[in-house]
Every structure is written in structure tokens, then in C-alpha cells.
Amino acid sequence: MDIQSIKQRFGIIGNSLLLDRAIDIARQVAATDITVLISGESGTGKEFFPKIIHQMSARKHGPYIAVNCGAIPEGTIDSELFGHEKGSFTGAHEARKGYFEVVDGGTIFLDEVAELPLGTQVRLLRVLESGEFMRVGSSKVLKTNVRVVGATNVNIPDAISSAKFRQDLYYRLNTVPILVPPLRDRKDDIYLLFRKFASDAAEKYRMPAIQLDEDAQEVLRNYRWPGNIRQLKNLTEQISIIEKSRIIDGTTLIKYMPQGQSSELPVLYKGEDSSKFNERELLYKVLFDMRKDMNDLKQLVMNLMRNDDDISANLGENTHLIQRLYKDLEEAKEPSGPIVYRPGKRFEEQEIIQEPEEIEETLSLEKKEIDFIKRSLTKHAGKRRDAARELGISERTLYRKIKEYDIE
């Protein structure tokens, strides 16, 4: 079966070479019993690939089950996967078969496999290596013949370095890797998917399908789609229901996109290392502190003008200072430190504690990150280890960001 036939059979839309490559790997590996690990961001459609592998394999007449490892509580996941004996734990009123026992001769899809507890990872490794497992509360070894396909949106090498995932299990799962591309790397497929979702929404809600003008199509194409296909589908249905006009322009479309065109803002997802989170948390704090300082300074100036007789009497000779403060407020370049107000002092005698460095006007987190990295590297004469220590991140993270932002 060729790639186009597979797309039609499983309802996959798109002509991206990256997508075709992923489908081609799934097609080739289906005839074997090799373990497959599917990687990709959340919402990219990873769930289609284990179905392709199962339906095109010799196991297609056997059972197929998809298990969301992240949705099962840690205390019961061993029982769900491997079964348990009667009385093995509180509430175990009878013996129960686990998924690996039920799906014997078929395929099991372990979605979000990186969320498995370390103890369960040891049990899974044994199944992959020998096909053997034991029910919870039993010492009897059972055998199963199951094809395992895993999927994750987590960077597993990072999880291994933080001791959250076993390295030997990763190598055993990752016999054949399949990378599902994010929607932003399939720009020519975005409008095709939009039209499909618009048609489905029109049929579902019995209304004419929405269409995009040229500007809206360009907006659709250039947005980063952090939620990928799932986000695009939800947005299409939302617009179909809310908008009365069936022709959608770019301005209307932007209103439904989180953060408008601020598509360059980084997205934090499960699996990112804590150093990246700390950087972004710091940047958000800087932005909120700027806003708070501006409001506090405005209120201070108003109180000074209303309540201090000495200041009011000398407004004429202090006009230049008031104008400077208001100019700072309007340009969002207010002093980074506090203003110490001392009652009874003349206006020009109030202490303004100001740091020499001004907060930049740009609100782009990416530009802030780049600026911080450049400053630190300059300060430490290009020594990455010292710069990384000052930034509070690992040297490896700094090296990756230098390459990502093309910093010289």
C-alpha cells in the first residue's frame, strides 16, 4: 500500500515531506515486531501511527489497545498494565488480567510513556526483553507476545539526565524512532486542514462552511500553532459557531488566536527543564514589576501634588522635575528603584534611587533572553561556563540557546 492510500484509509491530511517520511517509516516497520517510539509535540496526531503499524502488520486480526500512561494514577498503573491477584491490595476483591495479558498476540500503544513511574519502567523493560511479567501480588511468571508502540511529547534524553526515565528502557523502546512534525513545519498543509475542519463543522452544526480571504490565509500560515492540529481544529469550530459572516478576514482571525501574532513567545510544556522555566519566570516577573512600579510612581506624584503644602507652593520652580517624571512615565522608562518621599522636603529634595540601567521597552521574551545572554557573555569575555553560572542555567542549556538564537 502506497503512502497516499494510507492517508486516505486513516484520514490523514497533508502533503508535507516530513509527514510522508513518518508514514513511510511506519509502513516499513509494520511488517516486523520491532518496538517503535513515536515522538512529537502534543496535538500533532501521533495516535494515527500505531494504528497504521497495527493494521498493516501480521497482528491486524489480533487485539489493539491504546493506554494513556499519564492518565492512570501511579498507585494503580502496575495493576492496569500487568494485572493483580485477589487480595494483593485494598480493594482487590478478585483477580484481574492486565492489558499485557489481554492483548496477547496483538499491539499495545503506550501513549505518554515517559510519564510511567520508575518502578513500572523496570517491569516494562522485562516485558520488552523477554515477554515475561508477573501480576501484582503474585510470584508466578506469565508470558505474553505483544507488539509495543510508545509515544511521548517529552524530550526523553532530558528526562534521563534528570533521573526520571531509565536509559536502558529508552534504548529498548527507541529501536525505530518516528518523529511526527509540528504543524508550523507543515505550512502548506495548514489551510488544507482548516478547510477539512470547516467542512466538518458545517456538517455537524448544519450551517454554511466558513472561508478565509487571502489575508486570513496568510495569518493562518504564519502562526506558530503551539497546540498544533488540535488547536487548529478547536479554533475552526469556534469561529464557525460564533462568527455570522462566512468570509473571515485576517483581523477577525487574529482575535481568536491566543496572544494574537505574538507567535514567537516560548511555550512551556511538560518535559522542559527547570532552568528554562526559571528564566521565563524571571522575565515575567520583570514585566509585572515594571507595570507595578509605573502605577506606584503615578500614585506617588498625585499624592505629592495633593497633600504637601510646601510642594504645592513651589510647583512653579519645580515644574521641570514634574515634567521629567511624567515623561518617564509616558515612555515607560521610569526609574527602576523606588522614590523615597520625605514629608516636609521640597520636591527637588526628594530622593530618587535609580539604577543606571534602564528596562528596555521591548516586551518580547525571546529578545530579552538574547539580550541577557549577550550581556553575560560580554561580561565574562565569552566564557560560557561563567556566563551560564551567572544566568542560573546549565552550560549545556546556554550552548543550545546560543545555537538556537544564532548568537556570535
Q: 3-class SS at 237?
A: helix
pLDDT at 304: 60
Question: pLDDT (tens digit, 9 = 90+) per residue, 81-94?
Answer: 999 988 888 877 88
- Considering the entire predicted model, what is its pTM? 0.62
Task: List per-residue pLDDT tens for the chain, 408 residues long.
Answer: 899 999 999 999 999 999 999 999 999 999 999 999 999 999 999 999 999 999 999 999 999 999 999 999 988 999 999 999 888 888 778 889 999 999 999 999 999 999 999 999 999 999 999 999 999 998 999 999 999 999 999 999 999 999 999 999 999 999 999 999 999 999 999 999 999 999 999 999 999 999 999 999 999 999 999 999 999 999 999 999 999 999 999 999 999 988 644 444 444 444 444 444 455 556 655 665 666 666 666 666 666 655 554 444 444 545 555 556 556 555 544 444 544 445 554 544 444 444 444 444 455 677 888 888 888 888 888 888 888 888 888 888 888 888 888 887
Provide the percentage of residues in the chain whose pLDDT is more than 90: 57
The CB-based long-range contact list for 221-227 (8 Å cut-off, 24+ gap) reads 221/187, 221/190, 221/191, 222/261, 222/263, 223/184, 223/257, 223/261, 223/263, 224/184, 224/263, 224/264, 225/182, 225/183, 225/184, 225/190, 226/258, 226/267, 227/42, 227/43
pLDDT at 388: 82
Find the radius of gyration of the CA atoms of the chain: 29
Cell numbers given for 2: 502506497
pLDDT at 319: 53
pLDDT at 52: 96
Q: Name the DSSP class of 96.
A: B
Distance of CA 287 to the CA centre of its chain: 21
